[in-house]
Structure formats: C-alpha cells, structure tokens
Amino acid sequence: EAGVAQSPRYKIIEKRQSVAFWCNPISGHATLYWYQQILGQGPKLLIQFQNNGVVDDSQLPKDRFSAERLKGVDSTLKIQPAKLEDSAVYLCASSLVRQGIYTQYFGPGTRLTVL
Amino acid sequence: GENVEQHPSTLSVQEGDSAVIKCTYSDSASNYFPWYKQELGKRPQLIIDIRSNVGEKKDQRIAVTLNKTAKHFSLHITETQPEDSAVYFCAASIGAQKLVFGQGTRLTINP
C-alpha cells in the first residue's frame, strides 16, 4: 500500500513568516497525527485527528499553530508567525486499528528551518 | 501524563555482537509499546511492538521484552549488521492512540 505522503520535504523561512505543511494519510486510515521532532529528540505529538475531529491537541501551541483535516482525509498544519524554536522536522502519521491497537505509520516529514 | 526514559543515548557495538536498549515508563495504564528505527533523514519505521498481555516477542534477530511490574521494556538485537546502524526510539501508549516517545538511542555497528 502507498505510504503517508507529506509536502514540502524542506522549507526555509524567516522568523515571523508563515508556513503550511500538507499530509495525505494512507487510504482508509481514520486517525491522523502531527508530530514535532526537534533534532536529537523523539517525536512529540502536536495534534491527533479521528476522521475530521480533534482527539488531542493538548500540546499544540495554539497561539501560533493550527491544523485542520477537512473531509477526514488530507490535513494541513500551519505556523503563523514562526519562531526560531520551531525549527524541527514535522512528521505526519496515520493509523488503522487492528485488535484494539492503533499502529502508526509515519510520513517522510517536512524539515523546517526558521532563520 | 506518561513519561518515557530511554537508555543509553548512544551505543556502539562490534558487528555480530548483540545490542540492548532499555526504556522505562511511568503510567502503569500503558498497554502498547512499539519500537521505531529511524535512519538519517528518513521516516521512523516500526520494527517491532508488544502489548501488555505479552512478556516477550521475537522477530528474527530482534526481540522485545516487557516487565510490567518494573515498568520497563527492552529491545534486543542479535548478530548485529552494519544496516542496523540507526536511531532507535521506544514509545508507550494507552490504547495505542497517543504515543509518548523516548529520547532515542543512536546505535552504531562497527565492522
């Protein structure tokens, strides 16, 4: 099956600018996640969607980050305005539940550099 | 909330030797523990996972053990090969929905 797709793969912006990332999950996967992975650290969940509804956004900096998943398929993550500390890889993942377990499959990520 | 500690942060072993990475978790309600391998610039890839009703799981050269009482789980790689070099992440979750990751272990296999 096709994997999780993300674009762009790389983005360089200046602080205070805006940026948006796009994710297309594996077909049929109802759950979609956005993670932030800072260099040298493990991924940290930003937001989780079940279909087009938000399940968990407790770690999303809502003053500058927003995300949506219209029609329960593709999703976009936006940062406005960006700060230097937002430099990271933004990973999208999707999952399908089997026997009560939501196995997560990751996309290739978008590497964001904020100058 | 859940907190996952992973050790060591770096590990270097000779090709053919075994490697062990250990993780501890804080929430006794966690019931799903996957391990991901991430090569440089690539996506995290699931390599093995274990549920809390199982104490050990093996898949060829990799195995995972879980001690629920002590709240720790470990990844074991035997007969290591150069292609095993990568960063390995453990994770824990309740119901496998919200994964909390460890800090990662950079494994280097020396020829």
List the pLDDT tens digit at each of the 111 positions of chain B.
889 999 999 999 999 999 999 999 999 999 999 999 999 889 999 999 999 888 999 999 999 999 999 999 999 999 999 999 999 999 998 865 789 999 999 999 999
Cβ count within 10 A of residue A111: 17
Q: Which residues of B touch A44 (CB under 8 A)?
A: 101
Query: Does residue A1 have a pLDDT over 70?
Result: no
Residue A101 φ/ψ, nearest 5 degrees: -110, 130
pLDDT tens, A20-63? Answer: 999 999 998 999 999 999 998 999 999 999 988 999 999 999 99
CB-CB contact of B105 with B6 (8 Å) = yes
Cβ proximity of A54 and A33 under 8 Å: no
The C-alpha R_g of chain A, in whole angstroms, comes to 14
Q: Do A48 and B96 touch (CB under 8 A)?
A: no
A85, A87, A27, A30 alpha-carbon torsion, rounded to 10°: -10
Q: Which residues fall within 8 angstroms of residue B43, CB to CB, at 6 or more apart?
A: A3, A4, A91, A106, A107, A108, A109
Would you call A40 and B104 a contact, using CB atoms and an 8 Å cutoff?
yes
pLDDT in tens, A71-111: 889 999 999 999 999 999 999 999 988 777 788 999 999 99
Query: How many pairs of residues across A and B have Cβ atoms under 8 Å apart?
Result: 58
